[in-house]
Structure 1
Amino acid sequence: MHEILRLLEVRDSNYEEFINYALNNSDYFMLVYVRYNMAPESIFTNNIFKDLRDLTVKTRANPSWAGTPETYSNNTAYKITFYRSDPSAQQVLNRVNGIYNWTRPENPQDLAFYRGGQCWFYSIGHERMSGIIDPSPEDKTFFEERSLIDSLFRVDHALDGQFIEEGLSS
């Protein structure tokens, strides 16, 4: 059984506080770089990729990630990139001012954070959805204090493969 804490939109000062909290309470974070019709990525996206390069742990092309079980589009390339959570990433991740701004065409997509190989926080920018999986009491307090909780629910089944990432450890 898993508990899911669905969040309201995290933006502005709450977003900056969240990024700090997440970087200090996770092992990894993930961004998805998408090239539709093989068009070049935006300068902003390229700069994010370059500025996070030293924190890269793993990159893969399989078009499935936390919140997106599988996607397919002709002539589209996906680069799912995992980074080591490190305070030095704060400045780069704060270049946007909200969770749902992590979406194409200007930015990489769907910021997520991992504890070991399990997704802890996921977002689907274009659908304006995000949540915490199996939140700790500290996690609940953090989001309650900022009035960012939409709902809390339980699922009685194992997490789908999209929320588990092989090759990441605590």
Structure 2
Amino acid sequence: MSINILKEPRDKEYERLIQYAFKTCKTFVLAVQREILIFYPKPKILEELEQYKVNGLKALYYPQINYYNHDTILYFYECNEGAKSIIMQAVMGLYDWRHPYLPEDLTFLDDKGDIWMYSISHENIAGIYERNIDEVEFIKSEIELEIYWRERVYTEAEAMEAITNLHCLIDGYFFLLRANETWTLDERFSNKENSEHYMYWNEYFDEYDIKEHYLAFEIAHLGNLLKLNNPIYAFDFSNLLNEVQNTSYLEQSLIRNIGGNSEILYEFLERFKLKYKKK
């Protein structure tokens, strides 16, 4: 099953997580976008890790690294004491692995080459594929991570269907809102039921009582209020809404679209909380 890491492991939690990962895994992976190398020098830490690089492993497609494309370079390294020391000292938290001065998305593979832990730094997302219930308890009690353990396991296809379905709804409402009044659109979807895989999003919006079409509409509405050319999507909205650490870069990016008027963004988030938060 999948463990979702709810709060970024930092300081001691990060150290304990890395200690355990290096003890139980065989390989770790770091990612660099080719376009970053056009404007910035190659991250220095890659030189430090060069001696631990595993040659011959291909840059495989990993579904959990959901922004993967052919412009991504994946570097594979052996899990050993020397590499562990570098990884532990390089940053203070898991999501500090971020361009342009560091590689991104620290990922650990087990001895079969399967993902044990993945992270998507710029999305503040990370998860672990635990091997047994004892490991879940160890991660909670000894490493002291704040986690959500899914009782319902989604296949890759189911997860992609849930993500795609919600994002398509957001796209649709985003562009419809440019030519329609809010109340007329609200009448159109107020009786629509949730799709089969909407439960996938429970862990991201578990504090809120909101149907799928309403969620898509609200996210699309925010994008229009912020005068964006394209909508933001559910992962970023969840991070903003739940005040996930390290979202300041996203907030500033959104605020720049409205001439620095941050009140529009924050007032919308507060209104959403008042309207949909569970009693």
Same structural fold, with TM-score higher than 0.5 when normalized by the shorter chain: yes
Out of 141, 145, 148, the residue aligned to residue 145 of structure 2 is: 148
C-alpha separation in 2, matches of 1:18 and 1:97? 12
**Alpha-carbon offset, residue 83 of structure 1:** 0.9
Aligned match of 1:5: 3
> Deviation per CA, 1:15-54, whole angstroms, max 9, x where unpaired?
11111110011011000022326425446x2x21111112
- The question of whether the paired residues in 2 share the 8 Å contact of 1:120 and 1:134 is answered with yes
**1:46-85 superposed matches below 5 A:** 47-58=44-55, 60=58, 64-65=61-62, 67-72=64-69, 77-85=71-79
Aligned match of 1:26: 25
In structure 2, stretches of 5+ residues that fail to align are: 159-279
What's the RMSD between the two structures over aligned residues?
Answer: 2.6
Aligned match of 1:15: 14
Change in 2 beyond 3 A, CA 1:51/1:118: same
Higher-Rg member (1/2): 2
Change in 2 beyond 3 A, CA 1:134/1:20: closer
**Alpha-carbon offset, residue 130 of structure 1:** 0.6
Aligned match of 1:167: none
One-letter code aligned to 1:32: A
Q: Work out whether 1:111 is the aligned partner of 2:106.
A: yes
148-157 vs 122-131, which moves further: 148-157
One-letter code aligned to 1:87: E
- The question of whether the paired residues in 1 share the 8 Å contact of 2:140 and 2:147 is answered with no
Which structure shows the bigger proportion of residues in helix conformation? 2
Change in 2 beyond 3 A, CA 1:26/1:66: farther
Which structure shows the bigger proportion of residues in strand conformation? 1
One-letter code aligned to 1:51: E
Out of 100, 119, 127, the residue aligned to residue 95 of structure 2 is: 100
Relative contact order higher in (CA < 8 Å, ≥ 6 apart): 1
> Deviation per CA, 1:75-110, whole angstroms, max 9, x where unpaired?
x84210111111111221121111111121121010
C-alpha separation in 1, matches of 2:149 and 2:29? 24
In structure 1, stretches of 5+ residues that fail to align are: 161-170
C-alpha separation in 2, matches of 1:37 and 1:129? 21
C-alpha separation in 2, matches of 1:37 and 1:89? 24
Q: Work out whether 1:87 is the aligned partner of 2:87.
A: no
Tell me the number of residue pairs that the alignment of Structure 1 and Structure 2 aligns: 152
C-alpha separation in 2, matches of 1:112 and 1:14? 16
Change in 2 beyond 3 A, CA 1:6/1:37: closer
> Deviation per CA, 1:101-123, whole angstroms, max 9, x where unpaired?
11211210100001121000000
Matched residue SS, 1:140: helix
Aligned residues with identical type, % of pairs: 26
